[in-house]
Chains A and B, each alone.
Chain A
């Protein structure tokens, strides 16, 4: 009973033992990935496997750029994800503000529509997208992928932005309106600057959603020059002889943007995620 009052449910041994196990479980694959990426091709195929590279080297990271065009894949992923993120956050902020401040007829229906579109599976859309984009000459282009990624990101962005804007007191809008500001003035000069951290979080979240996708890229690209990081990784798996150190180096760098961005903005993202999905 004394323990509950101190905010402890489990004994120290239970607590830290369990946390240690979970942490090991969570982090071990990453350690194995880093270790492999520092091995030579020959060492990766030793039996039994070595846990710490005998002679750590960065050959795998070099051949990533030389033997495969991972540099190009990164460029593609970055451009596509960035455009998607900015576009979807802009339209998401507009809609989020609308849902947050106005109570109009059909509002609930539209909210339901935005939520429902978040549930649609990508495989429902890839077929029509293939045909439509081909007709428009946008198949196998970055523009085509940006349009496609908007389908994943826009509902999320709207939702997250609405959560952030809900936290900005309505009084501020009214004060600005009374001062003669237009609605758009309120939106651009009051709301957006105040919810700038929320916008950053939303942009990053949308960026990572687009960055991590495989389905759309695999369906809507065909040439080497359009390949993104995730597709570059997924394609290597199908090859006859997988060069594991190089693939692990690619996986590490492919996961890096996500890891860094989450480390930097963990709090904001958690806030945004829970604001969208969960009300306290």
Chain B
């Protein structure tokens, strides 16, 4: 970067430090406290033990919750990328009323996830809900399906709702990416006789690589942390079928008051999140 530098470079401190100190105070300090709790034994006692970590390692429920989280995140993010890319590609054409379609497609993402969860909980109601009514009228199902009570369906139902809620963000980012691809690239390739599939593979996808990486990283982080949607729909039930790390940790803290154990789970979750987002942090901090 060729920026003209004036001799008041030391002034950076006055701008950057207030926010930095605030973040240390409200974020880094409490985070370090969690780290501390996690190495205290449950129910008091001497300092420093890895007992909480070995407890969670051997805890079948924790393993199930971890598995649920992985499945929830993988399917949510995967489906967001597929549908988001599809809608972005279609919207990137010269079409009638593009802003209107974009606006409608954006709606699910703008409302709080608690609101999204509660609407769909009501839609999924076996007897009074819209989904079963629709499917029965269409002749697709014969009886009322228990979308949120049937252990086999419940996690998939929640993931489906999360598909609805989350695809617009990916669409938005990818649409911005698509719009910045120079049209001449396509025209040149089309003259050379490239098919539309080849255009997609050779021009569109490579040009979107960075946008896709960003969308992927941010979406993974957000879906790992998702709380309100699940809390509103199932509160982690039935059994532990839809329990994910964030709802599980919340319960350990505020329903069972196992502070030390909950902290250990939260620390593990945080390490996993930071590992996943490290390439993203590296990439962005190098560029800025």
What is the interface of chain A, defined by CB distance below 8 A to chain B? 1, 4-10, 15-16, 18-19, 22-23, 25-30, 32-33, 36, 44-49, 51, 91-92, 94-95, 97-99, 101-104, 107-108, 110-132, 147-148, 150-151, 154-155, 158, 162, 170, 174, 177, 183-184, 187, 208, 211-215, 218-219, 229-230, 233-234, 237-238, 244, 247-248, 251, 254-255, 258-259, 262-263, 266, 270, 273-274, 277-280
Give 3 closest A-B pairs by Cβ, nearest first.
Answer: A98-B15, A212-B112, A102-B12
Q: Which residues of A contact B221 (CB under 8 A)?
A: 118-119
Which of B46-54, B72-80, B116-124, B149-157 participates in binding chain A? B116-124
Nearest CB of A to B3, in Å: 6
Asked whether, in the complex, the Cβ of A120 is within 8 Å of the Cβ of B105, the reply is no
- Tell me the interface secondary structure of chain B in the complex: helix
Nearest CB of B to A144, in Å: 11
Q: Which residues of A contact B116 (CB under 8 A)?
A: 29
On whether A155 and B23 interact (CB within 8 A), knowing A19-B90, A103-B9, A131-B33, the answer reads yes
Asked whether, in the complex, the Cβ of A214 is within 8 Å of the Cβ of B107, the reply is no
Does B253 make an interface contact (CB < 8 A)?
yes
What is the interface of chain B, defined by CB distance below 8 A to chain A? 1, 3-6, 8-16, 18-20, 22-23, 26-31, 33-34, 37, 83, 86-87, 89-91, 93-96, 101, 103-108, 110-116, 118-123, 127-130, 133, 136-137, 164, 168, 172-173, 176-177, 180, 183, 186-187, 190, 193, 196, 199, 210-211, 214, 218, 221, 224-225, 227-228, 231-232, 235, 245-246, 249-250, 253-254, 259, 262-263, 266-267, 269-270, 273-274, 277, 280-282, 284-288
Asked whether, in the complex, the Cβ of A26 is within 8 Å of the Cβ of B95, the reply is no
Q: Which residues of B contact A36 (CB under 8 A)?
A: 122
Partner of A92, one of B19, B106, B211, B277: B19
Max chain A Cβ within 10 angstroms of own Cβ: one of B95, B110, B173: B110
Bound: A183/B113 CA distance, A: 41
Bound: A184/B14 CA distance, A: 9
Partner of A7, one of B93, B105, B282: B93
Q: Can you list 28 residue pairs at the A/B interface with Cβ under 8 Å?
A: A9-B93, A16-B96, A22-B87, A22-B101, A26-B107, A29-B119, A48-B133, A99-B16, A108-B285, A119-B281, A121-B246, A121-B266, A125-B34, A126-B254, A127-B266, A129-B30, A177-B6, A183-B11, A212-B228, A214-B232, A218-B250, A218-B254, A230-B114, A233-B114, A234-B118, A259-B111, A270-B172, A278-B211
Q: Which residues of B contact A132 (CB under 8 A)?
A: 30, 33
Additional A-B contact list (16), CB under 8 Å, known A5-B190, A7-B183, A254-B115: A19-B91, A23-B105, A26-B164, A26-B168, A94-B16, A103-B1, A103-B3, A107-B12, A108-B285, A121-B266, A151-B27, A177-B6, A212-B114, A258-B110, A278-B211, A280-B177
